[in-house]
Structures are given as C-alpha cells and as structure tokens.
Structure 1
Amino acid sequence: MSTTLSRRSILAGGLAGAGAAAAAPMLLSQPARAAAPATPASGSGRVFTLAVIPDTQYLFDGESLHPEPLTETMKHLATIKDLAFVAHLGEVVQNGLAQEIAAAKKPFDTLAKKKIPFSVVAGNHDLPNSNTDDQRGPTPFLDTFAQLTSRQRIARDAGGYNSAYTFDGAGTRFLLLALDWRLSAAGIVWARSVLEANAQLPTIITVHDAISADSGTGVLSSHGKLVWDNLIKDHKQVFLSINGHFWPSGRLIQNNVSGQPVELHLANYQQLYYGGAAAVRLYRFDLDRGVVDVSTEVPHIGAGGLNELESEELQLTAETDRFSFALPPALKPHVQREPRPASALVIPGTEAYWRFEGSGSLATGRQIDDASGRGNTLVVAGPSTVPLAFAKDCHPAQPAGSSLEFSGTKDTGAYLLTVDTAPINKAAFESGYTFEAFFKFPEPFTGDSAWSAIISRWISAKAAGRVNGEVEEPAATLSISGGPELQWCVYPTNLDRSVTNWGHELRTSRWWHVAVVNDGRLTTMYVDGCAVVRNPSTVNRGLAGSQSGAPWAVGAYSWAGQLDKTWIGTIGDIRIVSRALAPREFMIG
C-alpha cells in the first residue's frame, strides 16, 4: 500500500467482519484422544469454565438406553476445578417417556452430589406433545428436572419450564436464563421481567431452538427470531446465546440495539456416531484477557479406547467447535492506576501537556492550561450548542483521572484550539517528535464519528506550500477512519507529499492510548504501547505548517482550512514531546 494514501483515498474502503462458517468435524487418520481444549494464558487466575451439553436424545430412545457416555461426561466435568455452571440445551431424551427421563436423570446426580449448579431446558423430543408451548402443564420431563433445584436458581416461571440462575464466575456474578423450546407470550413477559430486574448482570441465554447453520453460516430460526426480538436485541447485558436442536454446529454474530455484538452459538453432535456420545462444549472465560476460549470434548471416547468410527467422527476440531471470542467491554478488567501529578509527566523535551481535569461543561471561550508550563493554552471554539463536558471516565493507565467528552456535530459541537501566542504553533519538530493521546470511541461508532481528529494542525497542506496529494487536508492530523482505524497523515518538511501511518480496526467502548514517534528519519505508530504493522519506510522529517504559525486543534478536523468534523467520543491526556520516546517512556509506561 502506498504511504501517500490520505483520508479521502479510502472512503469506499473499510473492514467487514466475517462470522465463522460451519464445518464438518475434522477426520483424523490415527486414533487419538479428543482434542485438548485451548488453555487461556491468564496470569492472575481470573478464569472459569461454563460447560454446555447439547442433544443427548439418541442415548435415551425407548428401550435403547445408554447413559454411559453422559455419565462419563458428568464425571469429567466434576474434575474441572474452575467449573462454574453446566447447562443442558434440551432434547435430553428421544420420546419424552418417563423411563427415558429416569435413565437420563441419573448422570445428573453426579453434579448434584458435587453441588455443581446446572440447568436443563426442554426440547421438542423431551415432550409427549411438542406442539405446545411453555404453558403445556405437567410432563415427565417437568416432574423430574424441575425438582433438581439448586441455590443458584433465583426464579422459575409459573409454568415451570423457564428458569433463571445466577452463578459466580471468577468473582463476577452472571445470570443464565434457561428457556423452553417454545416460549409463550407469558414466558416472554416473565423472561423480560428477570432481565430487567438483573440488568446489571452479564447474561447468557440457553434455549433449545434459536439458530441453524445448514448453509455454513448461522441463521435465526423463527423461534430464534422471537427470542432475539423480545429478549436479546433490547437487553444489552445479553452477550451470549447457545442452542442445540439443529445440526451441524454453527455461529452467528449480530449487533443489539446498542451496537454491541452478541454471540449466537449452535452446538449439536447427535448426527455423529453414537449420537455424539454426550459431547460437551466448554467455554473457558478469561476475564483478564477479555476472551472466551471455546472447545469441544467427548470424554466417553477416552474411557474405553477408540474404535474406527470414533476416530473419524468424534474428533471435534472444526472451526465451529474450537474458537475464541471477545468478552463485552463491561466484563473486561479495568484496573485503574492512581492519578499522577502533572509534574511527573513533564519530561525533557515536553512541548505541551494537556490534562482535562474539572467538572461540568466548557462553553466557548473557556481555557485549558498547558501543564508543561510553556504557555500552549487551549481555548474552546466552535458553535458550542453542545458544549464539551468533563468526565471521570478514563484509560486505566492515564495520569489524570478524568477526560473531556465531545458529543456535538460540525454544526453544534465544540472543540479546542491553541491560542495565537502558543509556542507550539511555530514548532517544526525537525529533530523528531512524539505525539501521545488517550481516547475512546462512542458506541455505536457511526459515520458521524469517522474522519474526525484527536489532534490536527489547523492549516491545509496547500496553505503550507504543498502541491502534491489531497492538499486541502490538514498538514498534520491524527485521525480516525471509518474502520475505525487510526491514521497519522502528515506533510513532512523534507517532502512535497504526505506520509501516512495506519493502525488496525479498534473496538468501541474501551479506552486506547496512541503514540506517534518520529526519530528524524522514520515514523512509528504505537497502540497501547505496541507498534502497528502499517508504518511507512519513507524517510520523513519535521511537520509542515510551522512557518505560518498555524494553531493545533484538539477534537476537530479541518478541510481547506475550514471546520469539517468535530470529534464524537472522549479524549484524555495529550502530551507532545520534541524527541522520539521509547515505549517505556510513554504515559502508559
């Protein structure tokens, strides 16, 4: 990619997320034990496991009763020290008969004796008449599994087929809704009441029928759409839904009304040899990494050795059986460092240091002092119908414990400009520089947020004497693309064109730190202290625009010298140093 790409060169570009496609189990040529689950790399031990057991119906079919695989699975789960909860996804048995259900219940006694909390939902084959909803009344399934209570069950609906549980996952309290395969209007009302009463708890929904994946990509079923529209879409605490019923396994990711991605998973192996042999899906939550590692095991095949069909069909290593996904921002660790005084951050070469400390709002004309003592005062500019506002929210490693929120548009928002007498207006940075900033995108990230700037020089490249490139853009800008990706696009003093550093697609609703470092020859961008891949190899020195004494803008982007976009989001400390800093010297160091 050319290093001269500017912001308008890629307006039609962007990154598109792709969900995992369903695939058949990998066929292994030699006997081997089921693939070991991915092991989280957690340093502090804030890890726990959620176990999910899909359809076991073919093990309990009339006179053909084979509890051994499910018994082995339960014994295996009982050995997992960090096991927090076990959820069965329904279709425990084939015909809903009392003798089938009695045989299927016995393996669950292992969990009950070990006091491991678990839930069981009804699937269509668990019921004498599947053409009913959760108001169907007593059945052998309900008579048996409704009695298997645990202190983690916090609620059950009047019909008895829907229940709610809370469990402790490495010190974090979770809610799990275990829902019938066919929700009634009353069931939906009950489930919504539980969600609303526990809105602060991260929530998982287990239901027998939600998505299918016949074509390789997860698709909502008609019942799944009912669950999505009524229980998931509008309740932002729901981040994961898991179902069985269909096969093969699959995965779908959809954004809720808040723009947050929700993981919708289909796990089912009943079509495989021995009815799937009670395969179990393990969700290993690592709260420190902010990741869930998913793997699938078949404990039964290790109990008595592998036969040929087991070797072929029960090695579950396809991409729909073994993968990872990110936890929502609310579940990610936020270990806040103690605020540090401004004097500790004014290191040799500091040209400007702005901290946004205060309360209330900032109207037009209000000032932010330069903590470096060099007089690079910022003043609030813009229409300011929507003023800037101080916020206590900040990056956990940010020196100041507060930030500044920008929420207006070009026509209504405010931004900051250095005063005319600011020394930094005339700085060319010929010997090198480091620009650092903390920032957070809004949720959702929309087109109104794209192509604004955290900091930019308020002069066009054309006005700074350049004739090559998109010369109406700023002579220097740290911007956000529609990706959203960071872009450091500058016109150096030694070139007649721009040089651009590109970051990667960043997640919303979390804080980031960016540092752009030039050593007089090359420029490197760092995100949270890590160098990005698209750093140009073009030798570049200094920043154009100093001869005109052009001011610097915080939270705004200009085009042809006129306001083009104001920042939508939050900005924390900004520091500019007239030399190249090593990562250990960054504000997050």
Structure 2
Amino acid sequence: MTSRRELLLGVGALGAGAATLAVPGTASAATAVPGTASAVPVVGAVSGAAGARGDDPRFSLAVIPDTQYLFDADRGDPAPLEATLKYIVDHSGEHNTVFAAHLGDVVENAAAAELVAAGKVFREFDRRGMPYSVLAGNHDIDSRTDDTRGPSPYLEVFGTARFQKMATFGGATSGGYNTYHRFRAAGRDWLVFALDWRVSAGTVAWVKGVLRAHPRTPAILTTHDLAHADEAGTATLSEHGQRLWDTLIRDNDQIFLTLNGHYWPPGRTTLRNAAGNDVHVHVTNYQDRFYGGSATIRMYHFDLARATIDVETFSPWLLGQKTRDALGRAEVELTDPVNRFSVPIDFAARFAGFDPVPVRVPRPASHLVLPGTVAYWRFDAAGDRVEDRSGAGNHLTRVSLDGSESLRWTAEHHPDQPTHGSVFLAGGKRPARGSYLRTAEDAPLNAMTFTKGYTVEAFLKLPADARGDHAWMGVLSRLGRGGDAGRTGDDPAEPVAALAISDGLALQWAVWPLNRDGIATNWGHELRPERWFHVAVVNNGRTTTMYVDGAKLLRNPSTPSIGLSTVGRPWLIGAGTYDNVVEQGFYGWIGDVRIVDRALPVGSFMNA
C-alpha cells in the first residue's frame, strides 16, 4: 500500500502559467511586464509589530506550520490555534517578535466553512496589530492547480485585502496567492516572501523583480513544499523544491533562509548557492503529533550581536493548560536536536555580497590629536623609528630580545581604527624572544605622573594559539620597579605600570599610583583570539575604569588611584617587565596607541 508520506514525496510541479503583478500596497493588477522592477516599486518606511524594537539586535520570527487538522469539517478544534496566536502577541514584547508566518495547509479540505473559521482565529493578529503572512498549501486550494488558478474560498479569506492594511505589506501577485512583506529589525529591513504551494513561472519572475527593487535587503522565503527530511532530521529538496532552487533560490544571494511545512518529520539542511554562500533550508510540521500538532510553533530568535539564530519549538496551547494528560505533557516543548537548535550566521559576512558593510576610511593623525594628547603612535609605515604623531617628541625605536627580526608591519586593523595598519610581534618567553618598541631615555613621556587623570588606548588582536607560552605578555608598560619609586607594598619588583594579557587571555592594568603603597589593578575578561579589540583605560584623577570596544568592564576598583609612579624610564610597546627585566615580547597584532593626560569620554575614544 502506498503510504501518505510516499504520496507527498511523489507530488510534482504542475503546469506553470504567467502571472501578472499587483502594485505593492494595492489590490489592483499592474499591467507591467512580470518581474520588472517598475512593477514592484519600493514602498515607504516599514516597521514590525506594534511596539517592536527596530534597532534591537535581537528579534524573533514566529513560524506556524500546518494547522489543517484543527479545521477539518466537523472534526476540528480552533482552540489550539487561538492560544498560539494569542501567545505570539502577548509575548511579542518579551521576544521582540516582529512578524509571524504561516506555512500553509491552514485547513484540511479547502472548504469555505473551514477557511472562514480559520480566518476568524486570525482576527487576533488583525485586532492587535501583529504583522503576518499566510500562504496556500495543497489542502487549502485545488492542489492540481498552480497560483494562476483564479478565485477560491481560500482567497476570499486570505487574499490580498487581508494583508495590505499592514505597514509591513509590500505587494502581491495579481492573482493574490503570493505576497511579500518588509519589516524593520536589528537596524535594517528584511523581506519575507509567502509563496503558493505551486508557483508559476510568472511568480518566479515577480520574486526576482522584488529582489531587484530591494537589492540590499536579506530575504526569507516561506512556502509549503520545498524540502522533506528523514528520521534523523536531514533534509533534502523535494521535486518542487528543486525547481525553486534551480530557478530562484540558487542565483539570488539575498535569500538566506527558507521555511516550509507539508512534510514530516521536520529537519533541515544547508545548501551552497551560486555566490558560494549558505542557504539554510528548514522543514517544520507537527500535524501528525498529538491533537493535530496542538498548534505547535517555531520561534526563530535572531541575535545579530551573537551572530546566531536560536530556534525553539513548543505548543502555547499546551503550555497554558493548568492540567495536562500524559500525551499533552510530552508535547509541551520539543527539545530534541531537530526541534531545538542554534544556527550560527555571521550576518555581516553572509550579506556582504549584496549589502557590504562600508569600510571606514583612514583618519588623519591631526583628527586624533585631541587637547592633552601626549603620545600617539601609528603603525601604517615600516621603519626603524615610529614617529610620535602628537608632536610631543615621544618617538619609538625597535629593540630585539634575541637578535631576530620578529616584528613586521601589516595591513591588519580594527574596522574602527584610525589607520589601516598594525605591527605584528612574534614574541615568546621560553626562551625570551621577540622585538618591541620603546621611547628614548630622555622622552618627555617618561617623567609624566598624570595626577589629573589619563586615558591609555590601544588596538590589539591575539593569534589563535596565543595561549601557552605567552602568559602575562605586555601590550604597553613602563620601565622601573615599584620599589625603585619608593613603593614597598605588594611585590616591589613589579613594574610601575603595565597593560598585560594574563594566562587566561584577560586584560590587566596594574599600576603603582601616587596615593598608595600598593598596586591598583583593573581586570578585563577573556579576549577571543583572532578578533580585533579596542582597549581603553581611563582615570578621572581619582578612579580608573577599563573599557573594551567602548563597553565598561566589571572589575574596576573603586579604591582611589591617583596618578602613575615613575622613575623616569622609557615606555615599552609590545613588552612587559618584571624586576626591570624584559621577560618576553608580545605575540599578536598591535594597532594605534594613544595616551592623553586627561579622562576622555567614550565618544572621544579612537574607535568612536
């Protein structure tokens, strides 16, 4: 006997016809050639759900798969979907939910009464301003037809007129079976396409036209039939999905995520498009589970700060029940790896092909020499001497610990660094090796005590293998022991000032201030290798605060720390000392370094 699953897998694409276009934001048909940009003009400013935080790097997309058994003649129950839609809106503030997408098969028999009943449930979204899309699955229409099929009971309920009232509505094909939507989240616009169970060639051209009209906007494609999965959750394109891939998805880099229902079990795969970038293909459907799937939803939690999409799957209807039977208790939340997972995406890199992040141009030294700047070193030109661009005469010369040339100039740099260059130092300590830079014995900086405050800044990056033989390497330090400066508390052999990297790759600013007979220490957190950081240490004349990339760190002492002790010895870049001995050279990249004799606000840092 042929199984239900085999029947689903055997359904292929039917005849394709031409589709004319509707002007975005209207229900009337356009006479423009299908797929042309003139037929899909860019609409105005977009938003998301009422109260959505458009600039928050974290936002959520709610995904609702097949609900057909809840609307099945006299056998259904709308209560689960009612609970789901209410949950999505009630918790939209908590999750910053900006949009909801139904993946088709809203009802079981494409009957007008079923569709009207489902449409009444979606009034919860309409009434409370939750933007959403619905698309036709094979159970919602005559599955033998494509999206040129003409009027239907489905279209009476979920036609263009229902969606064009939303601020996120972008446009529709003239037949009304395909729509696109734009919402604002994480500081940028996003597109969502809601495509029919069987799209015509004209609709494929229409999607391409929309993408051309929004060339820098990433797109999520939702449809009913695109991929199916095996029992392990590994997805494969269906016959119709392969057609969509070949004619639309593969060659349009803006489409980075596809979502479909129709098949079970759920699963996912990652495909490589023509631009060499990942397209995440996800299938989700729970109609075969308890109570017709209990209106189980997927929440896609986008986090651009963490470069991740976190996905969770649960039934709000079951979640809200005070008492549950045994079957219900097992279905409240699905936590297996197929239904609860994270997708790492470097969004900036993934979208760079169509929306590259603007490269910040180098800034001249004169823009960085603020009032009170006593030293400013830039590593954008190789040489035996690094000029002090502050004009104070604190130039640097190269010193080698082991006679080798382990210092080289590179084009590596922090994206917000004033110069597009750095120095790479290949130091180590067993044995002591590497090169570093130092001020002259008579440099004016050597004698300064900074009693009114200071700001010390540096850009740096650690290699992947920075652990091990590089513990306590110095980024910036001042020669001279605490004992030489008359400080006898703690360990008098420690240097008078040092910005170093601990064995745990954490920053440490340790100095002997003028007002106490002990070391004052600020601690940072572990730095991730192979990533550029900007470090700033700010003293306001009384306390010292450390920042990384403009963010204030935790372990900043409140004990007063006034000024910096000195014995008039040079400052070192790329080396630290103990007992006046340089024990090792720095291992990694160092970019611009600046010292100012006053406390600077975050907005005046070099990376601002």
Q: Fold match, TM over 0.5? A: yes
CA contact (8 A) 1:284 1:293 kept: yes
Q: Which amino acid aligns with 2:404?
A: T
Are 1:113 and 2:196 an aligned pair? yes
Equivalent residue number for residue 555 of structure 1: 574
- The answer to whether residue 565 in structure 2 is matched with residue 538 in structure 1 is no
Match of 1:567 in 2: 586
Partner of 2:417: 398
| Partner residue in 2 for 1:201 | 277
Q: Of the candidates 141, 145, 148, which is equivalent to residue 241 of structure 2?
A: 148
3-state SS, counterpart of residue 480 of structure 2: coil
Alignment correspondent of 1:371? 389
AA in 2 matched with 1:579: R
C-alpha displacement of 1:392: 2.8
- Relative contact order: is structure 1 or structure 2 higher (C-alpha 8 Å, sep ≥ 6)? 1
SS of structure 1 residue aligned to 2:445: helix
Deviation of the 1:173 alpha carbon: 5.3
Query: How far has the Cα of 1:322 moved from its partner?
Result: 8.3
CA contact (8 A) 1:431 1:578 kept: yes
Query: Does structure 1 residue 356 correspond to structure 2 residue 379?
Result: yes
Does residue 122 (structure 1) correspond to residue 143 (structure 2)? The answer is no
Asked which structure has the greater CA Rg, the reply is 2
The counterpart of 1:43, out of the listed 44, 55, 60, is: 55
Contact 1:71 1:107 in 2 (8 A): no
1:319 deviates by 12
Instruction: Determine if contact 1:516/1:523 at 8 Å carries over to the other structure.
Output: yes
Root mean square deviation, CA, Å: 5.6
Q: Does 1:512 align with 2:533?
A: yes
Amino acid of the structure 1 residue aligned with 2:531: R
Match of 1:581 in 2: 600
Query: How far apart in 2 are the matches of 1:459 and 1:437?
Result: 21
Give the drift of 1:372.
0.4
Residue 296 of structure 1: which of 313, 318, 321 is its match?
313
What's the CA shift for 1:576?
A: 0.4
CA contact (8 A) 2:409 2:424 kept: yes
Which residue pairs with 2:443 in the alignment?
422
Q: 1:120 to 1:540 in 2, by over 3 A?
A: same
1:498 to partner: Cα distance: 0.3
Structure 1: how far apart are the matches of 2:514 and 2:82?
71
Cα separation, partners in 2 of 1:356 and 1:198, compared to 1, 3 Å:
farther
Contact 1:282 1:295 in 2 (8 A): yes
1:533 deviates by 1.9
Residue 343 (str. 1) matches residue 366 (str. 2): yes
| Cα 1:202–1:308 shift into 2, 3 Å | same
Alpha carbons of 1:525 and 1:75: their partners in 2 closer, same or farther (altered >3 Å)?
closer
Alignment-derived partner of residue 512 in structure 2: 491
8 Å contact 2:348–2:357 — kept in the other structure?
A: no
Q: Indicate conservation of the 8 Å contact 1:166/1:174, yes or no.
A: no
| In 2: Cα distance, 1:174 partner to 1:390 partner | 41
Show structure 1 runs of 5+ residues with no match: 1-36, 60-64, 87-103, 127-133, 135-140, 156-163, 177-190, 208-243, 245-267
Counterpart of 2:509 in structure 1: which amino acid?
W
**Within 5 A, what are the aligned runs for 1:39-438?**
41-43=53-55, 113=196, 116=221, 119-124=226-231, 145-152=238-245, 168=253, 171=254, 201=277, 273-274=290-291, 277=294, 279-287=296-304, 290-298=307-315, 309=324, 316=333, 327-328=345-346, 331=349, 335-358=358-381, 366-382=384-400, 383=402, 385=404, 387-410=406-429, 411-438=432-459
**Cα deviations across residues 248-286 of structure 1 (Å, max 9, x unaligned)?**
xxxxxxxxxxxxxxxxxxxx9899844854734333435
Cα offset for 1:145?
Answer: 3.0
Kindly provide the CA deviation profile for residues 500-520 of structure 1, in whole angstroms up to 9, marking residues without a partner as x. Answer: 111233333332222111122
Partner Cα separation in structure 2 for residue 406 and residue 123 of structure 1? 51
Q: Are the structure 2 counterparts of residues 404 and 341 from structure 1 closer, same or farther at C-alpha, using a change threshold of 3 Å?
A: same
Cα distance in 1 for residues equivalent to 2:138 and 2:495: 69
Aligned-partner residue type, residue 351 of structure 1: V
Partner of 1:28: none
User: How has the CA–CA distance of structure 1 residues 71 and 429 changed in structure 2, closer, same or farther, with 3 Å as cutoff?
Assistant: closer
SS at match of 2:477: strand
Q: Does the C-alpha gap of structure 1 residues 285 and 308 become closer, same or farther in structure 2, counting only changes over 3 Å? A: same
- Kindly provide the CA deviation profile for residues 303-326 of structure 1, in whole angstroms up to 9, marking residues without a partner as x: xx9795398666549899889887
Alpha-carbon distance between aligned partners in 2 of 1:451 and 1:299, rounded to the nearest angstrom: 52
Q: Distance in 1 between matches of 2:98 and 2:545?
A: 44
Q: Secondary structure at the match of 1:459?
A: strand
**Per-residue deviation at 1:46?**
11
- Bigger drift between 464-473 and 348-357 goes to 464-473
Partners in 1 of 2:98 and 2:486 — Cα distance? 67
Normalization by structure 1: what TM-score?
Answer: 0.57
Output the CA distance in 1 between the equivalents of 2:464 and 2:54: 28
Contact 1:486–1:504, Cα closer than 8 Å, also in 2: yes
Change (3 A) 1:45 1:453: closer
- Aligned partners of 1:202, 1:389: CA distance in 2, in Å? 36
Residue 251 (structure 1) aligns with? none
Give the counterpart letter for 2:299 in structure 1.
L
Question: 2 CA distance for matches of 1:381 and 1:329?
Answer: 42
Q: 1:120 to 1:172 in 2, by over 3 A?
A: closer
- Taking the aligned partners of 1:407 and 1:67, their CA distance within structure 2 comes to 69
* Residue identity (%): 36
**What is the one-letter code of the residue matched to 1:497?**
G
Measured in 2, the distance between the counterparts of 1:150 and 1:46 equals 33
Aligned to 1:21: none
- Could you say what secondary structure the match of 2:391 adopts? coil
Residues 536 and 547 in structure 2, CA contact (< 8 A), matched pair in contact too: yes
Which amino acid is 1:201 matched to? N
Deviations 1:85-127 (Å, cap 9, x if unpaired)? 99xxxxxxxxxxxxxxxxx98689897516636753432499x
Alpha-carbon deviation of 1:556? 1.6
Cα 1:356–1:47 shift into 2, 3 Å: farther
Aligned residues between the structures: 430
